[in-house]
């Protein structure tokens, strides 16, 4: 049994990570900005990435760190810097001060193309800080993550319900179910042979999915035949401007996101997969998408 210091525990990935960590017998110390309900096996530590004292409190008694928290969408470059670069630096400093060597960092496949978006650039910059930390680090670059409780993919399921799904320009992507990501992060805790590696994990589908194929798979999960429409990049960028006018700083399709959505290749590098002796995906994607759709329906999201 290991005591884990976890950031991002109130988010989509973090909730699943904590649930599976507890099921494996770990104890959890999790950072939270707001008061959380009591949960057996979890100590919620009040604080934030910009509060050094709270990060030291998070580290008390922990033997490994899993740094999930980060900023995926924000209207400013400064927001990405604060959430992804400065926040990671603060976590590395706190772990070093607390004498914790094992540091698991959740990055993003977008870090592979830092020139495409500020988000990708900020994740790549965070990776350089982790690599230079001197800790026993391992980084994971997830591709598109989906699963019950996800907000990012929700609009695609809503579109499938209507039978028409607008998609980025023709391209390919890899997918990973949230539980499989969490199982990988937990498998890395004791895998010291993985220290110093950057892994790219997916559902095991060779060559990933076409955008249209992914759209049709979501349609099947919803029990609908959908018309999957790959839109020109100019239309996606126009949609980002419209979303900005509509939702302001709360826009989901920002210009930054549009830039990396339109990149044609978000398929993982096969040689960067974790070794099969350490981890393999357990969730077949069609089944995972169906479980996600069922969860959305059960919770009144679609």
Is the pLDDT at 213 greater than 70, yes or no? yes
Is the pLDDT at 54 greater than 80, yes or no? yes
The predicted structure's pLDDT at residue 260 = 84
How far apart CA 108 and CA 74 sit, in angstroms, is 16
Mean pLDDT of 263-268: 95
For 232, half-sphere exposure in the C-beta direction (CA atoms, 13 angstrom radius) is 3
SS (H, E, C) the chain: CCEEEEECCCCHHHHHHHHHHHHCCCEEEEEECCCCCCECCEEEEECCCCCHHHHHHHHCCCCEEEECCCCCCCCCHHHHHHHHHHHHHHHHHHHHHHCCCEEEEECCHHHHCCCCCHHHHHHHHHHHHHHCCCCEEEEEECCEEECCCCCCCHHHHHHHHHCEEEECCCCEECEEEHHHHHHHHHHHCCCHHHCCCEEECCCCCCCCEEHHHHHHHHHHHCCCCCEEEECCHHHHHHHHHHHHHHHHHHCCCCHHHHHHHCCCEECCCHHHCCCCCCCCCCCCHHHHHHHHHHHHHHCCCC
The predicted structure's pLDDT at residue 254 = 78
Is the pLDDT at 250 greater than 80, yes or no? no
How far apart CA 38 and CA 247 sit, in angstroms, is 34
Higher pLDDT, 247 or 219: 219
Backbone angles phi, psi at 7, to 5 degrees: -105, 160
How far apart CA 169 and CA 264 sit, in angstroms, is 7
The predicted structure's pLDDT at residue 75 = 84
The predicted structure's pLDDT at residue 231 = 85
Mean pLDDT of 216-222: 97
Mean pLDDT of 262-266: 92
How far apart CA 133 and CA 23 sit, in angstroms, is 31
**231-235, 264-268, 270-274: which has the minimum mean pLDDT?**
231-235
How far apart CA 4 and CA 18 sit, in angstroms, is 9
Mean pLDDT of 115-124: 96
Higher pLDDT, 108 or 252: 108
Is the pLDDT at 97 greater than 70, yes or no? yes
Mean pLDDT of 266-291: 98
- pLDDT tens digits, residue range 220-234? 999 999 999 888 888
Is the pLDDT at 253 greater than 70, yes or no? yes
The predicted structure's pLDDT at residue 251 = 65
**4-13, 173-182, 251-260: which has the minimum mean pLDDT?**
251-260
- pTM of the entire predicted model: 0.95
Mean pLDDT of 28-52: 96
The predicted structure's pLDDT at residue 249 = 67
Backbone angles phi, psi at 30, to 5 degrees: -125, 135
């Amino acid at each position: 049994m290991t005591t884990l210091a976890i950031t991002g525990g109130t988010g989509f990935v973090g909730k699943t990570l904590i649930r599976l960590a507890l099921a494996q017998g770990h104890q959890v110390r999790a950072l939270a900005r707001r008061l959380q309900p009591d949960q057996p096996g979890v100590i919620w530590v009040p604080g934030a990435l910009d509060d050094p004292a709270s990060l030291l409190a998070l580290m008390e008694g922990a033997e490994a760190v899993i740094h999930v928290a980060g900023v995926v969408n924000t209207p400013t470059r400064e927001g990405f810097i604060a959430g992804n670069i400065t926040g990671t630096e603060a976590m590395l400093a706190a772990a070093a001060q607390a004498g914790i060597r094992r540091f698991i960092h959740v990055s993003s496949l977008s870090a592979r193309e830092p020139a495409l978006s500020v988000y990708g650039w900020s994740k790549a910059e965070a990776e350089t800080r982790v690599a230079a930390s001197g800790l026993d680090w391992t980084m994971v670059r997830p591709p598109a993550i989906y699963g019950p409780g996800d907000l990012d993919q929700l609009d695609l399921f809503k579109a499938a319900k209507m039978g028409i799904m607008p998609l980025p320009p023709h391209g390919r992507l890899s997918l990973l179910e949230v539980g499989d990501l969490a199982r990988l992060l937990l498998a890395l805790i004791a895998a010291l042979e993985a220290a110093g590696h950057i892994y790219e994990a997916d559902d095991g589908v060779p060559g990933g999915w076409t955008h249209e194929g992914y759209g049709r798979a979501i349609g099947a999960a919803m029990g609908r035949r959908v018309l999957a429409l790959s839109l020109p990049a100019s239309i996606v960028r126009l949609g980002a401007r419209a979303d900005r006018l509509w939702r302001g700083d709360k826009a989901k399709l920002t210009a930054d996101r549009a830039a990396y959505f339109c990149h044609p290749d978000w398929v993982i590098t096969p040689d960067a997969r974790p070794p099969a002796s350490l981890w393999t995906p357990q969730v077949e994607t069609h089944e995972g998408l169906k479980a996600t759709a069922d969860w959305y329906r059960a919770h009144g999201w679609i």
